[in-house]
Amino acid sequence: MTAHDLEELDLDEEIALDRLTDAPREDAAARAARDFLAALGVQLDTPGTARTAERMARAYQALLAAPPFEPTTFANDGGYDELVLVRDIPVHSVCEHHFLPFSGVAHVAYLPGERLVGLSKLARVVEHLARRPQVQERLTRQVAEWLDTSLHPRGVGVVVEAEHSCMTLRGVRALGSRTRTQAFTGELRDGPARAELLGAVGEPR
């Protein structure tokens, strides 16, 4: 990940905060949602749908906004050199092609170098990068590159498994299908460390 990419992440953090706090923007989104639903023939004057446009706007606002965070790293004074793996980190994002949600889990691992990262930050970076229009392949790569750039470990491995509602609710309607993507850097690109990670993660669910 380049310095320009990291600058873009900072800008995205500002945009996310705007989405959380900008009431006029929320009103504009609700008006647009109302127009969108009306164009599809949805009745918006019933007791159940009178505030649907506002709820829809708030729902997408929540899906597309993540709080900013700072990575907490500390010196690897103990010289720990084995795999660090956090499994089953929740993933919630929106497919940029159909703007329908996809959700699943991420398994994030790294081989430490001179520094370690706070374990909760592995979940934070997944959330931060997922809360925007995404494709799973890019999300997986971004998580790996962010950790590689920020921590400079000996290697990074990221595995994401997710179910896409653009496949289960429309088109082929492949209910229960899951997509698995992987990204590896450094010593986790091949060899025994990669095999250890994939063994720990297990078969796709």
98 is known as an active-site residue: yes
* Catalytic, out of 54, 98, 127, 163: 98
Spatial distance between the Cα atoms of 154 and 188, rounded to a whole number of angstroms: 8
Condensed to tens digits (0 to 9), the pLDDT of residues 195-205 reads 999 999 886 55
Tell whether 163 is covered by a domain.
yes
- Are 51 and 81 contained in the same domain? no
CA atoms within 13 A on the CB side of 103: 5
Tell whether 56 is covered by a domain.
yes
92 is known as an active-site residue: no
- Are 8 and 31 contained in the same domain? yes
If pLDDT is split at 50, 70 and 90, which confidence band does 189 have? very high
- Are 58 and 94 contained in the same domain? no
Number of domains in the chain: 2
* Catalytic, out of 14, 97, 114, 152: 97
Percent of the chain with pLDDT over 90: 66
- Are 32 and 97 contained in the same domain? no
Condensed to tens digits (0 to 9), the pLDDT of residues 92-119 reads 999 999 999 999 999 999 999 999 999 9
Spatial distance between the Cα atoms of 18 and 4, rounded to a whole number of angstroms: 21
Q: Of the candidates 5, 183, 26, which has an alpha carbon nearest to the alpha carbon of residue 107?
A: 183
Condensed to tens digits (0 to 9), the pLDDT of residues 123-175 reads 999 999 999 999 999 999 999 999 999 999 999 999 999 998 888 787 777 67
For CA atoms 55, 61, 63, 67, give the dihedral sign: negative
* Catalytic, out of 13, 61, 163, 166: 166
182 is known as an active-site residue: no
* Catalytic, out of 161, 164, 182, 187: 164
Tell whether 48 is covered by a domain.
yes
**Structural domain for 184, as ranges:** 73-201
- Are 141 and 166 contained in the same domain? yes
Better-predicted residue by pLDDT, 22 or 37:
37
Tell whether 68 is covered by a domain.
no
Residue ending a domain, choose from 43, 63, 83? 63
Condensed to tens digits (0 to 9), the pLDDT of residues 25-72 reads 888 999 999 999 999 999 999 999 999 999 999 999 888 887 787 888
136 is known as an active-site residue: yes
- Are 100 and 124 contained in the same domain? yes
Spatial distance between the Cα atoms of 60 and 27, rounded to a whole number of angstroms: 13
95 is known as an active-site residue: yes
8 is known as an active-site residue: no
* Catalytic, out of 107, 128, 134, 136: 136
